[in-house]
Structure 1
């Protein structure tokens, strides 16, 4: 299921995809995936396509919340919880901080700082 979800997000050009292993930490799911879309329309589209693909591939219906506004869409597949955000909303809620182990979060921040530094360098 996780592989299908990540593939769908990648196909729809979701950005900053983070996977968090919840096994042994939460009974609600095995994994949490957090991703961003560039705007509300893309967030809603990413979520809708994901739900459609999962239904087609597995025959299972995922529950979806928030698609109408497109700020933060939650998709519950039972095994994997997927959050798709507009970047500003994702920054505000900072789910990664709540769920990621401290060592993984530090590595994620270092990667983001390197990317930002590389993007700021003149070509």
Structure 2
């Protein structure tokens, strides 16, 4: 499966769990960590955990593997490592504090078709 297709799966999984302010940054040529960052937020710890678990189960349904999930215990900033894609699931307060969009301000936003019927 192509990276862009996986990116769409991830953003749809976030949307399915009612993540807010979902954005994707194209990190190609900017970071060696991943080609894309997905950033979203949940309003409380339980929702943050549900979003991360939703990403994992969606990928498993498509026979894709999550490399690693970090931060589930406190659920203030959960990092879901998919290799070429890293998803940052924040608690709303933490997202405002860390402001990754500003930190990676050179990265262009990726247009997302969340919730569209194709």
What is the TM-score of this pair, normalised by structure 2?
0.81
Query: Structure 2 regions of 5+ residues with no counterpart?
Result: 1-5, 110-118
Larger Rg: 1
Counterpart of 1:55 in structure 2 is 60
| Structure 2: distance between partners of 1:2 and 1:102 | 16
The CA RMSD over aligned residues, in Å, is 1.6
Q: Is the 8 A contact 1:40 1:70 kept in 2?
A: yes
Q: Is the 8 A contact 2:68 2:82 kept in 1?
A: yes
Q: Describe the SS at the equivalent of 2:23.
A: strand
Q: Report how far residue 32 of structure 1 moved.
A: 0.2
Higher helix share: 1
Counterpart of 1:91 in structure 2 is 96
RCO comparison, higher one (Cα < 8 Å, 6+):
2
What is the TM-score of this pair, normalised by structure 1?
0.78
Query: Structure 1 regions of 5+ residues with no counterpart?
Result: 105-123
Q: Report the number of matched residues.
A: 104
